[in-house]
Chain A
Amino acid sequence: MADLNCPVCGGSMVVPSDALPGELFECGECGAQLEYFVDEKNVPMLRVAEEVAEDWGQ
């Protein structure tokens, strides 16, 4: 588990230890869609998820 903060509202979030970069989570406090990633220093973080683009889908 990793204790991270929502980049939108600053609320705390717990991300499971088996989370993969690119995995999406919803902030329980503000509802923001967030993407889990690991930065260049190997620090786990959250950022606002990409919006659905025109070329997305199956």
Chain B
Amino acid sequence: MNIGLAYDVVRFEEKSLIQAINDAGHVAKPLHVVGKEFWINEGNGHEHDFVIQRCVSYSRALATTTILERFGNLVVNGLDVLRNTADKLITSCMLARRGVPAPMTAVALTRQTAVEIAKKMGFPVVVKPIYGSWGRNIARAFDEQSLVDILELRENMPNPMMKVHYLQEYVDKPERDIRAFYVWGEVPVAIYRVSKMWKTNTALGGRAQPCPVTDELREIVVKAGDAVGGGVLGVDILESKEKGLLVNEVNGVVEFRNTVLVTGYNLAAKIVESTVQVVRR
């Protein structure tokens, strides 16, 4: 098969995927999207059996997936899944609609309403941007005054999306969370992200450790992946003392360097092999 790989920055993941494509006897077609011309009304010469979307920039991923799909390419992940996972509000709604356990979440469009929600939810609360990654601009408010300070800061930011206040209950987790990988309905591997900090993202220094894929973990990850449309996903799970496993976020363009380093699992090969099987069906 001719397998495209749309990317902007080359990381461990992109190199691993190219290697896995070649090792499986397919032809890898890296497509460095930055600087390319993408015409809408005529073919761009970017026709493949499928394309793996790897842009680290969400805007570039969204734009190039739209265009590649317009020319009939199957893109992994597709436009719907990218949007469903990049927008935390959409993700929350899709999880809730399917009854997937997640932290209590609410949205307010004014500062005053956000404070009222937080009082009902109970402090501390977590305030997140609707869009955003690597733990950026996520804040925890311990009381009304600190929440007002955070909201004021958000409302003075130029990005209008910062005026949509997405609030979640704070889940007191055991100095770790779980990153599990969903690959076309399977859960091949998972890691703990361990940190003394309340934000456990590996981008912020969280340490990766192997995590067993139990039946309980597999069940919630599959439900979450199916709820947002399937494909290849990273599902972040919190372990709540009171509520059990909760889905915190779902990621549509996954990083897996640390997972491979600590588990030795060849996730790139799994992604390529499973996607080829899905395309051939």
Binding site for B on A (CB under 8 A): 20-24, 35, 37, 49-50, 53-58
Contacts and interface: CB of A to CB of B under 8 A. Distances in A.
B14 A20 contact: yes
A24 B34 CA distance: 14
A57 B9 contact: no
A20 B131 contact: no
Given A22-B9, A58-B133, 10 more contacts: A20-B14, A20-B15, A23-B10, A54-B136, A55-B57, A55-B131, A56-B56, A57-B58, A57-B134, A58-B255
| Residue picked from A21, A49, A53, A57, most chain B C-beta under 10 Å | A57
Contacts, number: 49
B34 A22 contact: yes
A16 to B, nearest CB: 11
14 contacts: A20-B15, A20-B18, A22-B7, A22-B34, A23-B10, A53-B57, A54-B159, A56-B56, A56-B57, A56-B58, A56-B133, A58-B56, A58-B251, A58-B254
Interface residues of B, number: 28
Contacts of A20: 10, 14-15, 18, 30, 32
A58 B234 contact: yes
B145 interface: no
Given A20-B14, A22-B8, A24-B9, A57 B32 contact: no
Interface string B53-64: 000111100000
Contacts of A55: 57-59, 131
User: Do most interface residues of chain A lie in helix, strand or loop, or is the interface mixed?
Assistant: loop
B15 to A, nearest CB: 8
Contact of B203 (A50, A53, A57): A57
Interface of B: 7-10, 14-15, 18, 30, 32, 34-35, 56-59, 131-134, 136, 159, 203, 234, 251-255
Contact of A54 (B15, B32, B132): B132
Contacts of B136: 54, 57
B59 A22 contact: no
Contacts of A35: 9
B32 A58 contact: no
Contacts of B18: 20
Given A58-B234, A58-B253, A22 B131 contact: no
B57 A58 contact: no
B76 to A, nearest CB: 15
A23 B9 CA distance: 6
A49 B134 CA distance: 19
A57 to B, nearest CB: 2
Contacts of B10: 20, 22-24
Nearest to B62: A55
Nearest to A18: B15
B84 to A, nearest CB: 14
